[in-house]
Structures are given as structure tokens and as C-alpha cells.
Structure 1
Amino acid sequence: MKSETEIIVAELIKLLKGGGAHVGLQDATKDVPFHLLGERPHQLPYSIWQLTEHIRIAQWDMLEFSKDANYKSIKWPDDYWPKETSPTDETIWNNTLFEIERDLNEFILMIQNQNIFDPILHGNGQSILREALQVADHNAYHIGEIIVIRRLLGAWK
């Protein structure tokens, strides 16, 4: 029989990967035409590219904070949002998607291998559990925005 912690960790992993109540980033960004990545329909403040790059930056920041006592946070909000509305080429787009997946997998390994309830020693009361929930919540929020933009652009199923 699984312990309560094992059950929570398994549910966290499902939540982080997307599923249940919402799609994950891979599904939300699958087959987006490259020329639409920089579009901001109806005067929305962000493009699909900016939202995806923001997810990458914020998730990386939370991961680094969680694992590195020497990590210094980047400047909010300036360093968390790309200024460009679109990537300059498909390689940059693909690298962003790759880095999000890589960092998410590293975060999941941390969840699986540490006590998620222990405070992060260099934090102010944060735990791995809190950071995992924050990553999941933050990503889900912006993934929803990506899907709305795709719908407005006629590029969603």
C-alpha cells in the first residue's frame, strides 16, 4: 500500500505534466504554425511565444531557487517576460519547449527524491511541495491563455 506522501507525489506529477482538469504545455503548443507565435489578437498583451517563454523563465527560476542556496532571483517583472513578441527562428522556439520539458523533469526528480514537506533551508518557509504547486498553478494559468489565443487565431482543435 502506498504511503500518503507517495500518493501526493504521484498526484503532483500528474498535475505538473498536465492532465485531469487541463491539457499540458506539449498539447497546448503542438502544431502551432510558426507564423502565429507572435500574434496578439484583440489587443491581448502577450503572444503565444511570450507566454511560453515566460513559462520557461518562471519555471526555471522556481527550480533554481528550490535546489540552489546560492541562487539569486532575477528581477521581477522585467526579466520574466521576453520583450520580443515572437522567436526569431524555429530553433529558438524548439529550444524553449525543450528547456521547459527538461526543467520540469528535473523538478519531478526532485519531488521524487526529497521530502516535499521539509522547508527549503535557504528560503522563508517555502517547501518543495509549495514550489511544485506554484509551478503547476503558474503553468496551468498561462497554458490556458495559450489555448485562448490559439482559439482566437483559429488554430486550436
Structure 2
Amino acid sequence: MHADQRKKLINELTALIKGGNAHVTLSEALSGIPADMRTTIPDNLPYSIWQLLEHIRIAQKDIVDFSISKDYKTLVWPDDYWPQPTDSVTDEQWADSIEEIERDQQRFFALLSDEGKDLFSPLAWGTGQNIVREAMLIADHNSYHIAEIIVARRLLGIWK
């Protein structure tokens, strides 16, 4: 792949992961949620906004860890990917979750930008996955659950 094409692809994948083109960003989806509603499970939905946020964090970290290291340890589905309901979450827990999502995205962006990595070659420790596929998986997975956060906010009456 020519260097200009690679740079354009990396820019597109980065923008896709950051979101905001066809939907709100995670930051926008989380903005203004009252602390006492973070753990409320809306009627007819299985998860609270906190559980969705934590699921995004856990799943994205899992994808990034898998993409970076052959020493990756497989998580157990679904138990390791979904937090249990809770009655409260502290401001510190909330902020830490968001910060880890951002840090893991930066780790993945560094992987994308590593010129020594072939973006399309299968990862030696995987079953055919490559860095481009994992980038699209992060973007797809996060956008799906960001939409669920918006639905939860609508049902709780705390969306625009």
C-alpha cells in the first residue's frame, strides 16, 4: 500500500472509531447524565447506562489487547464482558471508565500508525483477524452501544 493511501485509511479508521459522522460521539451520549440515573435500568431494557458504558470499555479493551499482543488472554462470553447491575456508581468510577476508553483508543491509534505493522495481514495469534478488521469492529461495536445509551436516555427522559 502506498504511504498516502495508508495515511488516508488510518485517518478514516480513526475518524470512524471516534464517531460523530452518522451518530453522536460517546462523549455527547454521556454528557449531562444525572449521577443518580447512571445505574437506573429503563423499563423493557436489560442494562443501565453504566452497564453499557462498562461493556464498551471492557469490549474495546479486549479488542485492543487482542490486536496488540500475542499474550492476549481470552475473556469468557458473556460473563466477563457485562458488569452486574449495581445501585450506584461514583463520579470517580464513571470518570475512570471514560478515561480508560479514551486511553485504549489512543493505544489502538498508535498501533494503526505503526508503519512496521501491515494493516491487512492476519494477526499471527488470531484466526484471520487483521488490524483493519479490528478497527472496524471497535467502531461498529461502540456505535451500536452508543445508540443503546441514547435509547436508554430517551426512556429515562434525559435526552434532548
Q: TM-score, normalised by structure 2?
A: 0.92
Q: Write out aligned runs for 1:7-156 (5 A).
A: 7-85=8-86, 87-113=88-114, 114-156=117-159
Once the two structures are TM-superposed, the CA of residue 4 in structure 1 deviates from its matched residue by: 2.2
Pairwise CA distance, 1:90:
1.2
What CA distance in whole angstroms lies between the structure 2 residues aligned with 1:21 and 1:2?
28
For residue 89 of structure 1, report the CA deviation from its aligned partner: 1.2
1:140 maps to a residue whose letter is S
Q: How far 1:76 moved relative to its partner?
A: 0.7
Flag the 1:132–1:87 CA change in 2: closer, same or farther, 3 A.
farther
Instruction: Summarize deviations over 1:117-136 as a string: whole Å, max 9, x none.
Output: 12111111110001110010
Counterpart of 1:6 in structure 2 is 7
Q: Which amino acid aligns with 1:143?
A: I
| CA positional deviation for 1:2 | 6.7
Give the distance between the partners of 2:27 and 2:54, measured in 1 at CA. 14
Q: Structure 1 residues 106 and 151, CA, compared in 2 at 3 Å: closer, same or farther?
A: same
Q: Which amino acid aligns with 2:29?
A: A
In structure 2, how many angstroms separate the alpha carbons of the residues matched to 1:58 and 1:112? 22
Aligned length: 157
Residue 4 of structure 2 aligns to which amino acid in structure 1?
S
Please state how far the C-alpha of 1:7 moved relative to its aligned partner.
1.4
What runs of 5+ residues in structure 2 fail to find an aligned partner?
none
Cα 1:46–1:7, aligned 2, differ >3 Å: closer, same or farther? same
Pairwise CA RMSD: 1.5
Gaps of 5+ in 1: none
Measure, in 2, the Cα distance between the counterparts of 1:19 and 1:49: 21
